Amino acid sequence: MKFSEEFEARFAEMVTHYPTKRSALVPTLLYAQDEVGCLSDEVIIEIASRLDLTELDVRNVISYYSMLTTKPRGKFNVQVCTNISCLVRGGEEILHHCAKRLGIGHKGTTPDGLFSLEEVECIGACSWAPAVQVNYDFHENLTPEKMDAVIEQYRKREQQ
C-alpha cells in the first residue's frame, strides 16, 4: 500500500518522538484515515507491519476510539455528544434535529457523501454543553437554530 509523500514525511518524523514504535499508533491511524477516508483492511495491515503490531492489536485500538473508523464516512462527520452534561442541556434534541435535518440516523451518511452523523460519548467540552464535533472542529452551546447554521457553514465550504 502506498501513502502520499506528505504522510511518509509525517510518519518518519513522528516515530522519532516516541520511545517505542507502537506508541505512534493512534496518530498514525488518524493521519492514514484523513488521507484514505477510512481504515481499510489494507491500511490496517500496512500500519500493523510498520509498527511491529498484529492486525488484531490495531483493530482493538480502532474499536476503542469513536473517531477511528473502518467504514467510509461523509466528508464532514457530525458527532453529537449525548453524555450527561450535554444530555441535560439538550444534546438529544440536537441529535434528533441533526437526524431530521440531514435525513440520516446514527452512523448514517447522506447520499451525496457530504455528511455523516454519529451519537458519541463525552467529547471533553462539557462546560459548553451541548457540544458537537465536526471532524476536528468543536461547536458549543448549541441550539437547533445554531446547529442549522453549523451545517450550512459546512455545506457552503463545500461549494466554494
Residues that bind ligand FES (CB under 6 A): 81, 83-86, 122-126, 129, 131
Of 18 and 138, the one with the shorter C-beta distance to ligand FES is 138
Residue 145 CB, shortest distance to ligand FES, in Å, is 19
Radius of gyration of the chain (CA): 17
Query: Least separation, in Å, of the C-beta of 130 and ligand FES?
Result: 7
Task: Provide the minimum distance between the beta carbon of 118 and ligand FES in the complex, in angstroms, as a whole number.
Answer: 13
Quote the least distance from Cβ 104 to ligand FES, whole Å.
21
- Which residue's CB is nearer to ligand FES, number 29 or number 131? 131
User: Residue 39: exposed, middle, or buried by beta-carbon count in 10 A (0-12, 13-18, 19+)?
Assistant: buried
Beta-ladder partners of 102:
none
Place of cell 452534561: 85
Beta bridge partners of 76: 115
CB nearer ligand FES, residue 24 or residue 130 = 130
Strands 137-139 and 76-81: what pairing? unpaired
